[in-house]
Structure formats: C-alpha cells, structure tokens
C-alpha cells in the first residue's frame, strides 16, 4: 500500500510537466529589423573651455569668466538658451613628470549646443573659437523627424520578421499559427555620424562639416506557433 501511494505521488509530479511539453507544440522565434536612412537637419556640437595654472582659485575664476562671456555672446547672436547645455564641470590637479614641484591645476567646462540650422554651423564655430573655446570635440547629426522615422522603422521590422516566419515555416512544410510573444529589441536612438570637428583658422569659407546620412533602426522579436 505504501509503495502504491508513493507511485501515485510520483505520477502527480510528472504529469503536469508532460502536459506542458505536449501543449507547447512547435514554435518558431525570429528577429526582424527595419532600417531608415535620412539626411539630418540639425546638429549637436560638443565643445569645452579649458584653463590651467598653479593657483586653483585663479584657474577656476578665469574659466568662469570666459564661459560667462561665451554664454552672453551666444545669446547676443540669437542662440536660444535652451539649446545650450552644460555637460561637465571639472577642476583637477595634474603633475608634469610626476613631481610635486611642477603641479598644476586644470579647469574644464564642457557644453553641448544644438544648432537647428546646418547652414549656420560655420558661423557659430568661428564665433566659439573667437570667444576663447579651445576644445571642439564632436559633431553629432540628428533629425527633427526622429519619432516619425522610428515608427517607419518599426513597421519595416515587423514586416521583416513576418516574412521570416512564413519562409521558415514553408521550408518545414508548416504554416504560422498564433502569435505567442512579441518583444521590441532596444536599439537605442539614431546612429549618428560621429566626426572629429576640425577648426579652420585660415578664415576661408569652406564648410567644415559633411552631414551625410544617419540611420534610424528598430528590431522586433516574434514567436509564433507552427501547425
């Protein structure tokens, strides 16, 4: 009797697992990708003001004065305050040849500036350099139509995934059944074109940027039953 009860308990433990396996059936999981290319219509310019010296208070004061004048100059030239953002403030001690006798302090304040009209890039770049900016770091292109283009990329990703489901199912002699799961794969924002900014001190009119294209992409993960 004891052995019979033990057998029943074992059967009850195993049966749900077998049922779950049988009810799951055949399924297929695929990932679809949608890519949209577009010409950017705005640009983020990353730059910094940097000063160094032996007195940390004096170094910080010079940097503060320079950045204050820079902000005022940009406003006077039509730059909206909301388009200029401080990215980083830093004051650090540095050593030359790792000897305390030659220690110096460096103050750095970095900014990002949204330029809404690409045609004004060169003018603003020259303005920054003349105002004392000594580090122009990166140029990042973007689009004001990002959300619209992102949705188009989503649509293309779904179509791509559904095409794969149909193709693989047909290759196996089966057809797609019900959708089991759908998951959007995070691909981040637009893939910007990163370029090192080049300062031209010759005073020429040659443009310093080549916008090219940016890529807005999306990925969708689908799981379908097969029948």
**Sequence ranges of the domains in the chain:** 25-40+144-203+210-227, 42-142
In the prediction, which pLDDT does 31 show?
A: 96
Which residue, among 45, 218, 216, 219, has the nearest Cα to 144 in the 3D structure?
216
Instruction: State the chain's mean pLDDT as an integer.
Output: 81
Of 100 and 149, the structure prediction assigns the larger pLDDT to 149
In the prediction, which pLDDT does 192 show?
A: 56
pTM above 0.85, yes or no: no
In the prediction, which pLDDT does 187 show?
A: 77
Which residues make Cβ contacts (< 8 Å) with residue 179, sequence separation at least 6?
Answer: 222, 223, 224
- Which residue is it, tokens 């052995």? 3
Of 91 and 208, the structure prediction assigns the larger pLDDT to 91
Average pLDDT over residues 122-135: 90
Which CATH superfamily, name and number, covers 42-142? Answer: Protein of unknown function (DUF541), domain 2 (3.30.70.2970)
pLDDT in tens, 141-185: 999 999 999 999 999 999 999 999 999 999 999 999 999 999 998
Q: Which is it for the CA torsion 156, 157, 159, 160, positive or negative?
A: positive
CB atoms within 10 A of CB 149: 19
| pLDDT greater than 80 at residue 56 | yes
pLDDT in tens, 2-43: 444 443 343 334 333 323 333 457 999 999 999 999 999 999
Quick one: 4 exposed, middle or buried, by C-beta within 10 A (0-12, 13-18, 19+)? exposed
In the prediction, which pLDDT does 116 show?
A: 94
In the prediction, which pLDDT does 130 show?
A: 87
- Which residue is it, tokens 């074109």? 193
Q: CATH number of the domain at 25-40+144-203+210-227, please?
A: 3.30.110.170
Of 173 and 208, the structure prediction assigns the larger pLDDT to 173
In the prediction, which pLDDT does 208 show?
A: 56
């Amino acid at each position: 009797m004891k052995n019979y009860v033990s057998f029943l308990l074992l059967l009850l433990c195993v049966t749900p697992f077998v049922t779950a396996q049988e009810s799951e059936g055949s399924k297929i999981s695929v990932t679809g990708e949608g890519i949209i290319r577009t010409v950017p219509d705005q640009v983020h310019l990353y730059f910094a003001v940097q000063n160094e010296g032996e007195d940390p208070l004096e170094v910080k004061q010079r940097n503060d004065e320079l950045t204050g004048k820079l902000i005022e100059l940009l406003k006077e030239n039509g730059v909206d305050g909301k388009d200029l953002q401080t990215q980083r403030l830093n004051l650090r001690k540095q050593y030359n040849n790792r000897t305390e006798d030659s220690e110096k302090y460096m103050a750095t304040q970095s900014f990002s500036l949204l330029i809404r009209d690409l045609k004004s890039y060169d003018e603003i770049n020259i303005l920054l350099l003349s105002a004392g900016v000594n580090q122009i770091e990166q140029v990042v292109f973007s689009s004001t139509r990002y959300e619209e283009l992102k949705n188009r990329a989503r649509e293309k990703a779904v179509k791509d995934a559904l095409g794969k489901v149909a193709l693989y199912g047909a290759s196996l002699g089966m057809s797609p059944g019900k959708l089991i799961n759908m998951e959007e794969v995070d691909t981040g924002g637009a893939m910007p074109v990163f370029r090192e900014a080049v300062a031209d001190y010759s005073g020429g009119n040659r443009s310093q940027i080549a916008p090219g294209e940016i890529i807005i992409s999306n990925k969708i993960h689908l799981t379908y039953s097969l029948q």
